[in-house]
Structure 1
Amino acid sequence: MKKVYRLFFPLISLLLIVHLFALAQEISPPVKITSNPIGSHIFSDTTYLGSTPLTLSLKENQPRIPISIFPSSIRLWDVSPLFDTIGSLSGKNNFHFDFKTEQPKTPRTFAIVKESDHKSLTPHIAVAAGTVLFTATAAYSKIYSDKLYRQYLDEYSSTGKLNAQKRNNIRRYDTISAVALIAAEVGFLYLSISLLNY
């Protein structure tokens, strides 16, 4: 049981770190698509993606996606759509289409990810590593405190004397365990909120 308790929380934290590394490989900054007029319809092949303004999240390794933009106004449906291709190479991640100034043309190719635009995962990884350490510290301190407490009770049973030094050590390790557990919970909360925001 002790081994399970000792390994359970660090294992969960380690899984979170692995998941964050996976997110670092898969998630790129979102693409924002706007147009004039607003409410233009966006298609990728025959799939309707939505109307402008639209924010799309694409994976880093996702192939290029051709999109077609149709104006929102019914009287403008006779206008040919504007084309673009978005992908995951270095380039821009904000696209604006203006039906009043742009003419239909050969599809252009842009990319959506700039290295400088990446959301840094360093804080998340640091928090995950700290959470692992705090969780391990909390588990170890609690187990050691329980061991000292059993020794304290055994000693009291056999001698009838209270060992003040051992009692102080028990309190110290209990305090360390509680503080480390609170820090680990804060880390878990931060990571959970961060993952939900992705």
Structure 2
Amino acid sequence: MQTAVALGRSEPDGIAHIRDSYAAFDATRGARSAGLLRRQLFGYHDLLVHIRDFDGEAPGPDLESPLDAEATLFYQWDGRPAAAGEVLHSTVIVNRMDPAVIPEVSALFAELDATDFPHRMGTRRRRLFSLDGVYFHLQDFAETDGYRLIDRAWKEADPRFIKICRELEPLVSVYDPATWRSTADQVATRLYRWETPA
């Protein structure tokens, strides 16, 4: 499965229009004819994050929208794929990152994902994207509340999780320091989800 992430900026009153446009498109055969398996929209501060999963190579945009800046995938780990009929739930973490540190960030996650830790945590798939100094960490879980699993990993203090958090600290910074209070403030809010019928 290939994933594409596009980024846009939208005023709060424009989000409903964008969501409704995708819902109308996805209700037709248009999304399925484009090979789309799943579409999700997440909001985070002034950002609108558009995630599309395809059964093959990701084509270009499937509907005219302000989300035309495609993020670059720089790391992926496929873990355990979804079984037939199983629904995975995404959690999106948004931060800032200088593109120059992409090799270091990729190496840290490759080291972690080579252990059993992601499986113990419940992570089924991980994708890291970058666009214009913004970092998107997309994790899929079998459970609906991925942040709860992330928070539990922190509280259980697995040394591998603590280590990667400490090593990422100088490389990845919070998106908006003025409003940041805890790690929960780094998680985007899901605004829309569509999945192709089985």
Is TM-score (shorter-chain normalized) higher than 0.5?
Answer: no
